[in-house]
Amino acid sequence: MMITVEGLTYQYPRSAAPAVQSLAFQVRDGEIFGFLGPDGAGKTTTQKLLTGLLHGYRGVVRVFGRDLASYGPDYYNRVGVCFEQPNLYEQLTAEENLDFYRGLFDVPTERPHDLLRLLDLPVADRRTAGQYSKGMKARLALARSLLNRPKLWFLDEPTLGQDPQHSVMIRALIRRERERGATVFLTTHDMAVADELCDRVALIVAGRIAAVDSPRQLKLRQGRRMVRVEYRPAGVLGVEPAAGEGAGGLRLAEYALDDPEQKERFLQLVRDNDPETIHTTEPTLEDVFLKLTGTALGGDRRPGAPER
């Protein structure tokens, strides 16, 4: 295993309650592991613990098969970290930022020009990082996190603030790094990004993990196998729609495929009518999160859900 966590608990000084409590999970070599939850759930605290930025935790944390507490500066030769806040030297240019940080490693590093091109940032640009847009700063921080060709790459909301083109590019980059052999620990509240990228995810709320599994298995376990059909009853082409019908007489029906009677009715409808569209329906990861935790991504509790 790349990461093994057992009973991880951490409480900030002067805080009334732990930020994370009794966390237990494993991250496999070469996977994209999503750590998902609303703001304040404990995602960033967990990442800071795993990257050695917070100390004084209780529990066991092993990374690369070794107790995290036993590492010194050599740990950072093997990991890359990109937090949501870029934290750049804003009076330096992009290349000067990367040149400075590459000097901190004791391992071979990528060339700054190559990383700037990879993240669609200008080369030989004399503007300082402080003059960059929010999205450009975030991509420069991503470039910095790849300088040492990390075996373990920690990402915190990597597509936040990016336009659609650059969001697609960053998601492709994450997949490429996984194919290169890196393990990716991705913290996010964007369930669509996690669903697309992650091999497995952990759902966390109020400092506790509610579930760990692949997105597909979570959705299958928490939802029903349904099919939705838009169809035109035989012989109604060109007929004005009746009340409750769509344009051109289109109608909508849903069937539960786990129910033999409904499954037969679905097949009969397809045989006897003219389907326009047929879609399977399943819960989204956000639906699963809400069902398991009673908490929406914005942090609002579902009506009637238990207090936590």
Domain boundary among 191, 219, 247: 219
Q: Domain of 212?
A: 3-78+150-219
Residues 276 and 196 in one domain: no
- What does each C-alpha distance from 154 to 51, 76, 114, 185, 275 come to in angstroms? 8, 11, 21, 5, 46
pLDDT tens digit string along 85-101? 888 999 999 999 999 99
pLDDT tens digit string along 180-196? 999 999 998 888 899 99
Residues 63 and 172 in one domain: yes
Q: Is the pLDDT of residue 244 over 60?
A: no
pLDDT tens digit string along 132-163? 999 999 999 999 999 999 999 999 999 998 99
CA distance 219 to 151: 30
Q: What is the mean pLDDT of residues 108-122?
A: 97
pLDDT tens digit string along 9-57? 999 999 999 999 999 999 999 999 999 988 889 999 999 999 999 999 9
In a domain, 143, yes or no: no
Q: Work out the percent of the chain whose per-residue pLDDT is above 70.
A: 91
What is the arrangement of strands in the sheet containing 251-256, beginning at the earlier edge strand? 251-256, 226-232, 274-281
Q: How many independent structural domains does the chain possess?
A: 2
pLDDT tens digit string along 194-225? 999 999 999 999 999 999 999 999 988 877 77
Q: Which residue has the tokens 């795993």?
A: 50
Residues 71 and 188 in one domain: yes
Instruction: Tell me what the pLDDT averaged over the chain comes to.
Output: 89
A 10 A CB-CB count for 130 gives 11
pLDDT band at 308 (very low <50, low <70, confident <90, very high): very low
In a domain, 174, yes or no: yes
pLDDT band at 6 (very low <50, low <70, confident <90, very high): very high
In a domain, 142, yes or no: no
What does the pLDDT read at residue 192? 87
pLDDT band at 294 (very low <50, low <70, confident <90, very high): confident
Residues 7 and 73 in one domain: yes
What does the pLDDT read at residue 296? 60
Sheet strands (E) in the chain: 3-10, 20-27, 32-36, 58-63, 66-67, 79-82, 152-156, 183-188, 200-205, 208-213, 226-232, 251-256, 274-281
In a domain, 33, yes or no: yes
A 10 A CB-CB count for 51 gives 20
pLDDT tens digit string along 254-291? 998 888 999 999 999 999 988 989 988 777 888 888 88
Structure-token pair, residue 298: 């914005």
Residues 6+ apart with CB under 8 A from 92: 100, 128, 129
What does the pLDDT read at residue 295? 66
| Residue-wise burial string across 163-199, b where 16 or more C-beta atoms lie within 10 A, e elsewhere | eeebbebbbebbeebbeeebbbbbbbbbbebbbebbe
Whole-model pTM?
Answer: 0.82
In a domain, 97, yes or no: no
Residues 213 and 248 in one domain: no
What does the pLDDT read at residue 299? 47
Structure-token pair, residue 297: 């991504």
What does the pLDDT read at residue 248? 57
In one letter, which amino acid is 206?
A
